[in-house]
A and B are shown apart, each in its own frame.
Chain A
Amino acid sequence: MFTFTEEQEMLRKVIREFVEAEVAPKAQEWDEANHCPVELFPMLGEMGIVGTFVPEEYGGAGLGFMERSICLEELARHSAGLAITVMAHQLCMGGILNFGSEEQKKKYLPDLATGKKVGSLSLTEATGGSNFMGQKSTGEYKDWQWVINGRKCFITNSHLADVDLWTVITGQNEKGKPIMTAFIIDKDTPGHTAGRTEHKLGLCSSNTGDVSCVNVKLSPQQMLSQEGDGPKIALSTIQEVGRAGMSAICLGILRGCLEESVKFSNERIIYGKPLNKLMNIQFAIAENKLDYESAKLLTYRAASMKDKGLPCACEFALAKYAGNEGAIRAAKRTIDMMGGYGVINEYPIGRFLRDTLAGSTAGGTSDILKVVIAAETLKG
């Protein structure tokens, strides 16, 4: 039977207490100001929310993906924007953890895991996110250095990151297919700059924008893993760290919708009775609950498989799809239930809808997820 361990229950409780005290009161303010509260990172680091799955020897909490999902769900329940900031940071951290040399791990992980430094993963370009092999950024080995040129867009933490993981095309193989390689770029490396900031429909308390490299010169020590490992690094990071994180984040948003709908229908009096006496409202509550519980089981099952070392790309795809689409439905249902209040910004439900819509493209769009699920299912 699937249950959480006592430690996991206690973890959820203490993280929830922290989030309710330090994040919930300010979430709306951050969203309205388009402010990413990256100043909280050291505190999040201390709490173990940032470096949850990084081993203790590198300054992390030494826990697994179950615990990471719990932390992200709790965080996203009140601020999906802050949660995706942490998640994107974990993409960079995960890349270095899983593919970095011992030296690179010792150099970068402690600061990233404790929240002293912020990370990002720069993969997507104007040529497409799902189609990342079609990217145009280049890396050329010249005079014992790698020279990086290119422009990345829709990058979370674009303007905040101290450590930026870039993928570039470094050549072609004998079949003419592109060779993609990953590099670690420190902020303030000459030629590496953040460009425009995007104003998004949702996840407004996360920072998204362009990053470009113009003749950025890197020593070979900055290459992550081997030349040509780019696709492997990108896929595993997006699928296992990114998609996994997004499913927990969407789950948190879903729970927010469920809790708001329950609170409202219990308190609101209409025609002399609480709203919850009306059957159509009860159906809406039931549907919200169904969406939440389904996404919850899918998310934590995938996370427990990951912690056991089992392949779970399809499972995370199912989880993210269920969480994201479920949150969109639940948010709309709750807005409908709340009438005029549903469209007033003082109530978080509108932000929940916007956040989950904005999160649709992170970690795989719903369509891509269906492709992944179908591919796995059709294997028979």
Chain B
Amino acid sequence: MALNIAVCIKSVPDPKWYEKITIDIKTKTITRKGIPSIINPVDKNALEAALQLKEQYGGKVTVLCMAPPGAKNELYEAMAMGADEAALLSDLAFAGADTLATSYTLAQGLNKLGKFDLVLTGTESADGATAQVPAQLAEWLKIPHLWNVKEFVLVTEQEIHAKVKMDDAVGEYVIQLPALLAVSREVNKPRYTTAMGVMKARKKTLTILSKNDLELNESLIGQVGSPTWSGDISIPSLARKGQELKGTPEEIVTQLITKLRAAGINPAKRREGDDK
């Protein structure tokens, strides 16, 4: 049962360096200069899941990324971790894309690379954190998807049983292949990349695909293809406008419990759940 698996990754600024990001509010530009990029952390969980499937069933793992040329490093790192091949979708025409245009471009890239049994992604990126690309990518590919998968098992060549993390609950689903799974950090512990892996990576194939290499509807890519666009940006100050709760301890506690409930924290509300 050899599986052809694709993993979509994102190159993001290292979250440890967020303090050093500078923002020019007037020009609305965010300077990431000097801040190292890494593979979006949860994407490594997706890649690990792919590698484990390949080890169990045989097949191939291809990594795909839509980004400026510098993201080659992240793709080499993914190959050093164990992916067989990588492709970078890079073109000025892709720039300024929102999640809909990004997922469209990724879908065309995947279609160009072949037919995949399974597409794996992480749930969200550390920088934008919209968590929208996985669902939209599945839509463009016309395959079903599940988002926030914490556990899954290949039951037959056509079917996966998955556990999805819901609010305070775990949902169980059956999904038909080909499909897309957006996995969370709970799904596994990614392996370390070894020295041997680093050396092998350079011998693997990294293909760079530009606009002309893909079959594209140009009105659906880049800024043109993005229904949403960014307006003004601002930096919120660390200071928070605290609201003071006053009164006797009893009164304070009553107010506090109301506030907690508003934030969705209400241990008393959990009633019996249904199982099937």
Contact = CB atoms under 8 A, between A and B. Distances in A.
B196 interface: yes
Contacts of A6: 73, 76, 202
A61 interface: yes
Contact of B76 (A10, A49, A71): A10
Interface residues of B, number: 14
Nearest to A8: B198
A63 B192 contact: no
Contacts of B77: 10, 13-14
A18 to B, nearest CB: 5
B207 interface: no
A11 interface: yes
Interface string B79-92: 01000000000000
Contacts of A125: none
Interface in B108-167: none
A339 B239 CA distance: 31
B56 interface: no
Interface string B191-207: 01111111101100000
B192 A61 contact: no
A181 to B, nearest CB: 34
Contacts of B201: 7, 10
Contacts of A18: 192
Interface in B179-216: 192-199, 201-202
A14 B200 CA distance: 14
Contacts of A17: 192-193
Contacts of B80: 10, 14
Interface residues of A, number: 21
Contacts of B197: 14
A14 B199 contact: no
Contacts of A56: 196
A47 B76 CA distance: 17
A56 B195 CA distance: 12
Contact of B194 (A7, A13, A21, A48): A48
Interface in A1-45: 6-7, 10-11, 13-15, 17-18, 21
Given A10-B76, A14-B77, A63 B194 contact: no
A17 B195 CA distance: 12
B121 to A, nearest CB: 22
Contacts of A15: 195
B83 to A, nearest CB: 14
Interface in B34-86: 73, 76-77, 80
Contacts of B193: 14, 17
Nearest to B202: A7
A69 to B, nearest CB: 12
Q: Which of B76, B196, B198, B199 has the most CB of A within 10 A?
A: B198
Contacts of A61: 194-196, 199
Contacts of B194: 14, 46-48, 61
Given A10-B77, A10-B80, A14-B80, A48 B192 contact: no
14 contacts: A7-B198, A10-B77, A10-B80, A10-B198, A14-B80, A14-B192, A14-B194, A18-B192, A46-B194, A48-B195, A48-B196, A61-B196, A67-B195, A71-B195
Interface of A: 6-7, 10-11, 13-15, 17-18, 21, 46-49, 52, 56, 61-63, 67, 71
Sorted nearest first, the 6 A-B pairs with minimum C-beta distance are A48-B195, A14-B193, A61-B195, A18-B192, A11-B198, A48-B194
Given A47-B195, A48-B195, 20 more contacts: A7-B201, A10-B73, A10-B76, A10-B80, A10-B198, A11-B198, A14-B192, A14-B193, A14-B195, A15-B195, A21-B192, A46-B194, A47-B194, A48-B194, A56-B196, A61-B194, A61-B195, A62-B196, A67-B195, A71-B195
